[in-house]
Chains A and B, each alone.
Chain A
Amino acid sequence: MPRPFPLLDDSVFTSSGYKRSTKRVGPDLDDACLCGSRRRTRSCHATAAGRWIASEPPPLLNDARTGYAHPECFGQAGADCSDKISREHWISANIHRQLHIDGKAPMLSGAPWLHGASKSVGTKALASKILCERHNNALSPLDSIAGQFFQAVRDMQLSLASTTAPFLGPADDHFLLLSGPRLQLWLLKLVLGGVASRSFGAAGTPLKSVRTQPGVALHDILWRGALFPNRWGLHARRHRVDPKGTPESIGVINHTIDDEVCGATVQFGALNLNLGLGVPENSATVQPASYRFDRPSTNVQKYIALAWPEDGHEPISYSNLG
């Protein structure tokens, strides 16, 4: 009987001093698992074949529904709201804070309400009253994961840049392990929040609805542990590199069909995370098992492993970075 997969905390586990595997990119699977369980990695969050695994994480809300739908909450369709509305950062506040450098607030561009201009926005200014307190509080673990992930991806890219700019410091190996389903849910939160805050648009006009299918309740996927339909969710294109992508920024491109949002691309520097609310048309699109940042002239490993409960995910490589 196959062993049950272990759970993965709502954390991003990082290591830069690991013993390398001789067979593949990343740590030696005979070493202790990064999650801190003290078991060997191949007996914990990886299989002997090098597939990164974790059981389906628990729902963000698993108590009884409140039966109340707050009219201003974007999760109201689940009739599971509290009676107080709260401010939600659809781009997580901890990502925003990381872009607040040298006392200068980040610049935002591209939102329909900016009418083509750029604006310096503080952390508070980026929050909108679009979620009830109950739904908002339940999303905190996703924001925490996204913030840690953003920081690690940024560090990885800056460190790779240092291989050609030594004054930035030495470039070390870097390994990252996190839950694939949780990252996928954070993208869904971002898409629903982007629409609710009227930040998503086409030709300068805000988009008001999200495309879904009969029988698919996105609020139940986000908060109640319902699963994405097959081939929906996080995906990536092989070898897609944006050399202009600066790690000091986050980009969001919304995708639409008939003025309804059907997904988005989120750019963490050169790393593209795509969420599809539907089966991707492009056959070159895969569901990622890992991301690898690379520079042909160096021997430095930058490797992100996404642990999934199911098989069928493929590794992605990003070359010529830094």
Chain B
Amino acid sequence: MTTLTNSLDQASSTIQDADRRIQSLQATLDGTKEDLTKTQEELTHLALALDTYAAATEAGQPVEGNQLRLISGALAAAAQSLTKASDALRDDVIAGI
């Protein structure tokens, strides 16, 4: 009789454990479902934003074209000289390693 009672207790405990695990899994599943819903909503918003951007582009938003620059000859020469000096220094360092 005692053995039967023990077995029943064990079975009951196993069932309770299983129930807890099922509940936990259910909660995880619910969470995942919620995450999925959120992701879906975000994707919908993103698609809407992309549509709006595409519509705005079609409607004509300005974009930047060429960047033209006229820089003083002296400054350009100084920049060039600096680049050369920097390149030479780098080569020296590499040669010294």
Residues of A whose CB lies within 8 Å of any CB of B are: 91, 95-96, 99-112, 118, 120-121, 126, 194, 199-204, 207, 246, 248-258, 261-263, 278, 281
Q: Are A110 and B68 in contact (CB under 8 A)?
A: yes
Enumerate chain B interface residues (CB-CB to A < 8 A).
60-77
CB distance from A259 to the nearest CB of B (A): 9
Chain A contacts for B66, CB-based, 8 A: 110-112, 199-202, 204, 253-254
Q: Pick from B66, B72, B73, B75 the residue with the most CB of A within 10 Å.
A: B66
What distance in Å separates the Cβ of B96 from its nearest Cβ neighbour in chain A? Answer: 32
Total A-B residue contacts, Cβ distance less than 8 Å: 111
User: In the complex, which residues of chain B have a beta carbon less than 8 angstroms from the beta carbon of A108?
Assistant: 68-70
Chain B residue, CB-CB nearest to A255:
B62
A199 interface neighbour in B64, B68, B71, B75, Cβ under 8 Å: B68
Q: Which of B64, B68, B71 touches A246 (beta carbons < 8 Å)?
A: B71
A105 touches B63 (CB 8 A): no
User: B75–A249 contact, CB under 8 A?
Assistant: yes
Of A248, A251, A281, the residue contacting B62 (CB under 8 A) is A281
B63, closest chain A residue (CB)? A256
Looking at A100, A108, A248, the one whose CB has the most chain B CB atoms below 10 A away is A248
Which chain A residues border B64 with CB–CB below 8 Å? Answer: 253-256
Given contacts A104-B77, A263-B62, A281-B61, contact A253 B70 (CB under 8 A): no
Residues of A within 8 A of B74 (CB): 101-102, 104, 248
Identify A101's interface contact among B62, B65, B68, B72, CB under 8 A: B72
Q: Which residue of the partner chain A has the closest CB to B61?
A: A281
B65 smallest CB distance to A (angstroms) = 4
- Contacts known (A246-B75, A248-B75, A249-B75); A106 close to B70, Cβ less than 8 A: yes
Chain A residues positioned under 8 Å from B75 (CB to CB): 101, 246, 248-249
Bound: A254/B72 CA distance, A:
21
Q: Which one, B62, B63, B67, B73, contacts A107 given CB within 8 A?
A: B73
A254 in complex: contacting residue of B65, B71, B73, B77, CB < 8 Å: B65
